[in-house]
Structure 1
Amino acid sequence: MNILIIGTGYVGTTTGLIFCEMGHKVTGLDLDDQKIQALKTGKLHFFEPGLEELLTKHIQTHQLTFTKDTETAIKENDQIFICVGTPQGSDGSADLTFVKNVAKSIGQHINKYKVIVTKSTVPVGTAELVTNVIQENQTAPIPFDVVSNPEFLREGSALQDALNPDRIVIGTTSETARTIMRELYKDFHCPIVETHPKASEMIKYAANSFLALKISYINELARVCDNLAINVKDVSNGIGLDHRINPHFLKAGMGYGGSCFPKDVNALIQTAKELGNPLSILEAVVQVNAEQPVYFIEKIKQALGNDLKNKTIAVLGLSFKANTDDIRESPSLVLIDKLLEEQATIKTHDPVVKMGAPHQFPTIEETAAGADALVICTDWDDYKNLDWAGLKSLMNQPYIMDGRNMLDKEKVERLGFRYLGIANY
């Protein structure tokens, strides 16, 4: 099949590369010239393990091309995937400006029957909206179908998730489009959920919101465990072994972040409010998540004498999770802002995220030098096997504040560190 991917960000690039792996010919369309030029040379504008190698491979095989020519790209491809951003609006709802712009362009340039697929995370009813915008901008009544086909990619493991999905959701009322989508995904061995577009759109929001709920639940429970001197890891393990619950997303930490969970939870909350059916559980999820970094800072303050003025805090990890350079809604940034309010001096390190000029990228040793505490905000593997004894010798005070409960508490304490985790006893 000839497939057009509109939007060459994280979702669009990953989706296009997977279709190339399946033997399809893919065109990536974006209006950002800098992105297009970088992709043409095999360079990703974001960090995601394994994708850059795949990008180079399919550019060389000519399975994958990139363009800024909207009209030609729409006319020459039979399946069009909408993979543009849906940023959060001021009221928490999803901003569909980019989706509408794409639909308008499709309507203006469509020349034969096509299947238009919304891969972006969009509110319930967007498939209908896209259909209407395309029809309004057509110069002639050319038939087409709009399908909802949400992505379920985890940043940091997008390639494996895309190659080995646990389910594929196809939302359409058209038998023609359904047949084409089945053919497109015929080589994938997983359950395929075929449903109405509205249900498909809801599935994406409901899934992300439920996972966010699990994270906030275990984080709030960890605060109770802290007061009772209970190791929350034991609690997570004990309840996670129940197959009805499972252990995923039951790891206590500093809260969720990134480009999906915060935005999607807020969008679903806003949709429910507009319908007069408020989702009080999800509203509590958001509140707990906002409080979690603040809770951790209070623990840091207590350990360092309740006064952080002129204390030097080394923050390890800026991305919201390991194996990505995404800092959107990252708990580490919330923590840094709060520490600055306490007049602490901040030093930062991240294996991938680079902020500032190149000469300002410090080594882990430079970051630790003179620090009163090392605060782990991202569970990068790089931090598991550091020369902790060497780092301790560089520090002003030997405190480790483990916001991800990733270190061996007994091991670092044997080295002379004072360790503080989140209900990690």
Structure 2
Amino acid sequence: MPIAVAGAGYVGLTTAACLCELGHQVTLLEIDVERVARLKRGESPIFEPGLDALLQRHLGRALKVTTDLSEALDGAEVLIACVGTPPTASGAPNLSALWRLLGDLRRQRRSGELTVVVKSTVPPGTNRRAQQRLGAGFAVVSNPEFLREGTAIHDFFHPDRIVVGAAQPAAARQVAALYRGIDAPVVVTGWEEAELIKYASNAFLAVKLSFTNEVAAVADSLGADGLTVLRGVGLDRRIGPHFLAPGPGYGGSCLPKDLAALRWTARRRRVRLDLLPAAERANRRQRQRVLAKLGPVAGKRIAVWGLAFKAGTDDVRESPALEIIPALLAHGARVVAHDPEARRTFAAALTGTGVQREGSAPASTGVPAPGAGLPDGLTLVDDMWEAARGADALLVLTEWPEYAAAPPEAIRTALAGDLVVDARNLFDPEVMATAGLRYRGVGRDRGFHPPA
């Protein structure tokens, strides 16, 4: 099926490449001229495992890239909107890019009906408003994405469900047919139900993670093994084992934004929510719990492994590192930090020299010159062992495999001190102790009582 995809950000680029893999002809529309030029050279502007190979396989064949809307629409039966909807200060998503796209579509209206699929994350009621703005000749369908950064291609081809929200059954069937060949339940529903499924799913995950971290904190105070506790909890089929891994708190482009947007939606409808604000407060508190495990840091050199909000991506939006590292500096520490992919995006986010949109991330090639615009006391390095060498303590914030594979004896040799705060629980406490390291995990820091 000939398809246009609007937006070559994280979601749009992944969606376009994967649809080509399913046998569709796709034209990718992007207004960023530099990004289009890079794509035409076969360069992916974002880091996502497996995406480069898909792009190289399909660019110039099943996949075309353009800045021209009329070219993208030529012959297309479906246009998929993957434009950014970043959060505003109120928590409401900024829908200006979506409304601009729909306005352009209406002005360039052609003969025949066009199905407009809204894959961007939008608040309930948006697809209904989109249909009203476009009018006759267009069929609007809500088709929210559930892609996880670092595993987006796997998630596209092996989803838990495909959600299709529409007012017209024929349009719903057309969109469901885009995914023919993928073995997953298809949930066909109305617009508002589809929109709310996306928000509710991510809000629930945020609540579950905050609950997990609070259980881990109680386990620490009792001298209990929190991971054993949570493993036992997860064996209950009603709860399940997923998202029961304690850590430094959730981040990224989806959970914080979608939870805030669901709260905003509820406020507009005069619905009082108690659980979601509590989850947000618990997430902020978790960053402080991790900091407390380091003890006094004034005058100390702290090595930080991990800047991205999770492994497998260079995305630092709402990353724990963006809050924890400035706090360390404010308390008088010197910080030397490493990340295999996110050094450039972290520097850009910290210095305000880069803007990330929903579904996209700055290119990961290149690293700012050492100290260029960074706060005093912070150094970013391109070698994890250079970060650790001579440090008084090591703080692990991202679960990259190369960190998990680091031999404890080598860590002890590199550090000047002996403290490891492992906010991702990558290491075995007993093995770390045998290597002469004081180990503090999350839920595995027996008897640790953080300051009130």
Shorter-chain TM-score: which interval?
A: over 0.9
1:357 and 2:357 matched: no
Whole-angstrom CA distance in 2 between matches of 1:188 and 1:271: 32
Provide the residue aligned with 1:395 in structure 2: 415
Whole-angstrom CA distance in 1 between matches of 2:279 and 2:401: 28
1:18 and 2:18 matched: yes
TM-score (norm 2): 0.89
- The amino acid that maps onto 1:390 is A
Map Cα deviations across residues 155-189 of structure 1 (whole Å, 9 max, x no partner).
Answer: 11101000111110100010220221232222221
Equivalent residues of 1:318, 1:327 under 8 A apart: yes
Provide the residue aligned with 1:36 in structure 2: 36
- The amino acid that maps onto 1:263 is K
- The amino acid that maps onto 2:301 is T
Provide the residue aligned with 2:333 in structure 1: 344
Whole-angstrom CA distance in 2 between matches of 1:400 and 1:167: 40
- Pick one of 408, 421, 424 that aligns with 2:441: 421
Q: Report how many residues are paired.
A: 413
Per-residue deviation at 1:311? Answer: 0.5
Provide the residue aligned with 2:76 in structure 1: 77
Using CA pairs under 8 Å that are at least 6 residues apart, name the structure with larger relative contact order, 1 or 2.
2
- The amino acid that maps onto 2:44 is L
Whole-angstrom CA distance in 1 between matches of 2:407 and 2:369: 24
- Pick one of 238, 249, 269 that aligns with 1:255: 249
SS of equivalent residue, structure 2 residue 293: helix
1:374 and 2:394 matched: yes
Whole-angstrom CA distance in 1 between matches of 2:149 and 2:438: 32
SS of equivalent residue, structure 1 residue 169: strand
Q: Which moved more, 1:70-79 or 1:292-301?
A: 70-79
Listed as ranges, the gaps of 5+ residues in structure 2 are 345-366, 371-379, 447-452
Per-residue deviation at 1:298? Answer: 1.3
Equivalent residues of 2:408, 2:431 under 8 A apart: no
- The amino acid that maps onto 1:364 is M
Whole-angstrom CA distance in 2 between matches of 1:175 and 1:362: 53
Provide the residue aligned with 1:127 in structure 2: 127
- The amino acid that maps onto 1:352 is E
- The amino acid that maps onto 2:190 is H
Q: CA RMSD in A?
A: 1.3
Per-residue deviation at 1:358? Answer: 5.7
Map Cα deviations across residues 346-377 of structure 1 (whole Å, 9 max, x no partner).
Answer: 11000111234266643112111120111000
- The amino acid that maps onto 1:167 is R
Equivalent residues of 1:75, 1:109 under 8 A apart: no
Per-residue deviation at 1:18? Answer: 1.3
Whole-angstrom CA distance in 1 between matches of 2:443 and 2:58: 47
Provide the residue aligned with 1:138 in structure 2: none
Per-residue deviation at 1:394? Answer: 2.6
SS of equivalent residue, structure 2 residue 144: coil
Equivalent residues of 2:85, 2:95 under 8 A apart: yes
Counterparts in 2 of 1:10-409, with a 5 A limit?
10-59=10-59, 62-111=61-110, 112-135=112-135, 142-301=136-295, 307-355=296-344, 356-357=367-368, 361-409=381-429
SS of equivalent residue, structure 1 residue 65: strand
Whole-angstrom CA distance in 1 between matches of 2:185 and 2:67: 35
Whole-angstrom CA distance in 2 between matches of 1:86 and 1:278: 24
TM-score (norm 1): 0.95
Provide the residue aligned with 1:139 in structure 2: none
SS of equivalent residue, structure 1 residue 133: helix
SS of equivalent residue, structure 2 residue 19: helix
SS of equivalent residue, structure 2 residue 327: helix
SS of equivalent residue, structure 2 residue 85: coil
Per-residue deviation at 1:75? Answer: 4.1
Equivalent residues of 1:308, 1:343 under 8 A apart: yes
SS of equivalent residue, structure 1 residue 76: coil
Per-residue deviation at 1:387? Answer: 3.5
Equivalent residues of 1:150, 1:201 under 8 A apart: yes
Whole-angstrom CA distance in 2 between matches of 1:246 and 1:391: 34
SS of equivalent residue, structure 1 residue 36: helix
Structure with the higher fraction of residues in helix conformation: 1
